[in-house]
DNA sequence: CTTGATGATTGTTG
DNA sequence: CAACAATCATCAAG
């Protein structure tokens, strides 16, 4: 092991007898006898390396048994402490570096280093279970889970191995130092420091292990469930929730960050439906909710007709579920609303979204309809509405309904900035009755 | 396999 | 930087 030699070098450097010059006398043994004694001992120590092995051995033994030995030892230790080692005290504190923290976080999030049992399944399950859908990805992810738990296992065995090696090495070094402390000035404090150094070394190895584990996980992830290309459809509930929001905010379908988060939570899409935890260190995950709304807006705009049915559906849904009381009130106030042809099975609603819907249509000036309505040449509002209405199976009678404050889609294909996003809190924003009879 | 739907990505724009 | 627009790649139904 490379560490070992390094450590030994350190040890050697620290403890070489070079430091042992000019010794103050321990206690007040002021008599010449003592001074002479100590001087003698020191001399012996200093010259011990010049002697032959046998000779030195014998001398060493003699010194060890010397009555002044304990005192000398502690003094030497003290001196060493003050000279060579004092430098090092400052740069000692481990920086508890953020890199390691990051790795730890990731491993924890990934379920690699986290609570035992279940392997990666724990993490993935946690990620997907909350979804409430879970079912669809279970198969998809089983392979991933297997691999992940494999990684996890390797990680743990390696970790254990390193720990064991670290302990072994530590005790070994400690024994060695203790042994040597009989002949060299090595204080317990020094030994402790040595142990710390060893631990630092090993923890850096551990970090490497963590790093490579992280890399492995990342690779695995990118291979198996990177949703970048292998897209998964959202669950039914998810799209439902998103659609509900979209159509009930049709005049301004731009959810705020909070709203997006809320939606994401509700839909359990989270960030890019991969895994909620991943978002944190996988910096470049745009919100899937944002994607969805982006797609939705553009596609809705491109072909409103196609979404009409859907719009009615969701508008109705929100109306029914959320605002029955208000709806009733509104309905009362509009009992004489222009009767539309067949009252569909669901009857007539006061539709929060539908208001927008028709406003949108009323705001059209031709940029939307080419896709769906074979334009007869007329491009002005009424005729377009007519055309759209026809294409949707709406009678002309609806035109009357569509004459509301024109916000929503503007003529250029963008949504007006909803100055009063009244729809954000209360979906009810217009009193109009719409029939969801889309029989066509 | 074809086709429409759909989530994600990329490049552009204000 | 967010929104848009175009496009890609995959899904899922037929």
Per-residue pLDDT band at A48 (split at 50, 70, 90):
confident
For residue A110, tell me if it sits in a domain. Answer: yes
Q: Mean pLDDT, chain A, as a whole number?
A: 63
**Domain check: are A325 and A254 in the same one?**
yes
Q: How far is CA A158 from CA A124, A152, A166, A201, in A?
A: 23, 10, 12, 16
Helix (H/G/I), strand (E/B), else coil: A349: strand
**Domain check: are A206 and A261 in the same one?**
no
Q: Is the pLDDT of residue A378 over 50?
A: no
Distance CA A377, CA A366 (A): 10
For residue A387, tell me if it sits in a domain. Answer: no
For residue A28, tell me if it sits in a domain. Answer: no
- Mean per-residue pLDDT, A2-23: 43
Is the C-beta atom of A61 closer than 7 angstroms to strand C?
A: no
A124 CA vs C13 C1’ separation (Å): 29
Q: What sign has the CA pseudo-torsion A252, A253, A257, A261?
A: positive
Is the C-beta atom of A291 closer than 7 angstroms to strand B?
A: yes
Q: What is the 3-state secondary structure (H, E, C) of A220-241?
A: HHHHHCCCCCCCCCCCHHHHHH
For residue A242, tell me if it sits in a domain. Answer: yes
Distance CA A383, CA A397 (A): 13
Helix (H/G/I), strand (E/B), else coil: A127: helix
Of residues A50 and A352, more confidently modeled: A50
As ranges, strand B nucleotides with an atom below 7 A of a protein CB are 5-9
Per residue in A151-204, pLDDT tens? Answer: 888 888 998 998 899 899 899 888 888 888 877 778 888 888 888 889 888 988
For residue A44, tell me if it sits in a domain. Answer: yes
Is the C-beta atom of A13 closer than 7 angstroms to strand C?
A: no
As ranges, strand C nucleotides with an atom below 7 A of a protein CB are 2-7, 9-12
**A415, β-bridge pairs:** A409
Tell me how many domains chain A contains. Answer: 3
**Domain check: are A212 and A243 in the same one?**
no
Q: How far is CA A302 from CA A176, A200, A331, in A?
A: 79, 62, 32
**Domain check: are A259 and A305 in the same one?**
yes
- What's the predicted TM-score (pTM) here? 0.43
Per residue in A222-276, pLDDT tens? Answer: 665 554 456 788 888 888 888 988 988 888 899 988 888 888 888 766 444 433 3
- 8 A C-beta contact, residue A307 and residue A295: no
For residue A425, tell me if it sits in a domain. Answer: no
- Mean per-residue pLDDT, A109-137: 49
**Domain check: are A186 and A298 in the same one?**
no
- pLDDT at residue A54 in the model: 83
- pLDDT at residue A336 in the model: 47
Q: Is the pLDDT of residue A82 over 50?
A: yes
Per-residue pLDDT band at A409 (split at 50, 70, 90):
low
- Mean per-residue pLDDT, A89-105: 67
User: Among A10-19, A179-188, A321-330, where is mean pLDDT lowest?
Assistant: A10-19
**Domain check: are A102 and A189 in the same one?**
yes
For residue A16, tell me if it sits in a domain. Answer: no
A236 CA vs C2 C1’ separation (Å): 27
Is the C-beta atom of A256 closer than 7 angstroms to strand C?
A: no
A194 CA vs C5 C1’ separation (Å): 64
**Domain check: are A102 and A194 in the same one?**
yes
Q: Is the pLDDT of residue A333 over 50?
A: yes
Residue carrying the six token digits 């927008």: A356
**A396, β-bridge pairs:** none
Query: How large is the C-alpha radius of gyration of chain A?
Result: 40
Residue carrying the six token digits 């028709």: A358
Question: Which structural domain, as residue segments, surrounds residue A292?
Answer: 236-272+285-331
Of residues A210 and A343, more confidently modeled: A210
Is the C-beta atom of A96 closer than 7 angstroms to strand C?
A: no
Q: Is the pLDDT of residue A297 over 90?
A: yes
Q: Is the pLDDT of residue A352 over 50?
A: no
Is the C-beta atom of A399 closer than 7 angstroms to strand C?
A: no
- pLDDT at residue A216 in the model: 74
- pLDDT at residue A19 in the model: 45
Q: Is the pLDDT of residue A38 over 70?
A: no
Is the C-beta atom of A292 closer than 7 angstroms to strand B?
A: yes
A300 CA vs B13 C1’ separation (Å): 21
Is the C-beta atom of A239 closer than 7 angstroms to strand B?
A: yes
- Mean per-residue pLDDT, A394-419: 47
In the complex, which nucleotide's C1' lies nearest to the CA atom of residue A227? B8
A424 CA vs C6 C1’ separation (Å): 30
**Domain check: are A61 and A150 in the same one?**
no
**Domain check: are A194 and A102 in the same one?**
yes
Instruction: Look up the protein residue whose alpha carbon has the minimum distance to the C1' of C8.
Output: A229
For residue A326, tell me if it sits in a domain. Answer: yes
A256 CA vs C1 C1’ separation (Å): 14
**Domain check: are A209 and A102 in the same one?**
yes
């Amino acid at each position: 092991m490379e560490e070992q030699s390094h450590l030994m070098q350190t040890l050697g450097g620290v403890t070489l007898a070079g430091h042992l010059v000019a010794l103050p006398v321990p206690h007040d043994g002021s008599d010449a006898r003592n001074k002479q004694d100590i001087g003698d001992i020191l001399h012996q120590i200093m010259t011990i390396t010049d002697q032959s092995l046998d000779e030195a051995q014998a001398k060493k033994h003699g010194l060890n048994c010397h009555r002044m030995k304990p005192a000398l030892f502690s003094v030497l230790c003290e001196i060493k402490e003050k000279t060579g080692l004092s430098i090092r005290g400052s740069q000692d504190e481990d920086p508890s570096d953020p890199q390691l923290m990051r790795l730890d976080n990731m491993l924890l999030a990934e379920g690699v280093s986290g609570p035992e049992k279940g392997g990666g399944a724990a993490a993935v399950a946690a990620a997907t279970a909350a979804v409430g859908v879970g079912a669809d990805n279970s198969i998809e992810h089983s392979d991933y889970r297997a691999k992940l738990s494999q990684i996890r296992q390797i990680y743990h065995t390696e970790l254990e191995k390193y720990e064991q090696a670290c302990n072994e090495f530590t005790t070994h070094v400690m024994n060695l130092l203790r042994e040597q402390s009989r002949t060299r000035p090595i204080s317990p404090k020094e030994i402790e420091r040595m142990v710390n150094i060893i631990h630092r070394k090993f923890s850096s190895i551990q970090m490497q292990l963590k790093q490579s584990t992280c890399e492995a996980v990342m690779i695995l992830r990118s291979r198996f469930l990177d949703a970048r290309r292998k897209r998964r459809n959202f669950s039914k509930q998810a799209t439902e929730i998103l659609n509900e929001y979209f159509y009930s905010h049709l005049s301004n379908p731009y959810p705020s960050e909070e709203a997006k988060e809320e939606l994401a939570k509700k839909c359990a899409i989270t960030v890019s439906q991969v895994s909620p935890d991943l978002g944190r260190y996988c910096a470049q995950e745009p919100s899937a909710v944002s994607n969805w709304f982006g797609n939705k807006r553009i596609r809705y705009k491109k072909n409103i007709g196609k979404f009409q049915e859907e719009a009615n559906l969701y508008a109705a849904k929100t109306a029914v579920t959320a605002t029955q009381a208000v709806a009733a009130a509104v309905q009362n106030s509009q009992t004489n609303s222009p009767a539309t042809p067949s009252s569909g099975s669901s009857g007539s609603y006061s539709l929060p979204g539908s208001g927008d819907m028709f406003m949108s249509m009323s705001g059209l000036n031709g940029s939307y309809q080419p896709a769906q309505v074979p334009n007869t040449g007329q491009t002005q509002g009424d005729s377009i509405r007519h055309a759209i209405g026809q294409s949707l199976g709406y009678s002309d009678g609806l035109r009357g309904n569509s004459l509301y404050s024109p916000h929503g889609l503007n003529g250029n294909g963008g949504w007006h900035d909803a100055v009063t996003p009244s729809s954000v809190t209360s979906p009810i924003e217009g009193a109009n009755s719409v029939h969801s009879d889309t029989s066509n």
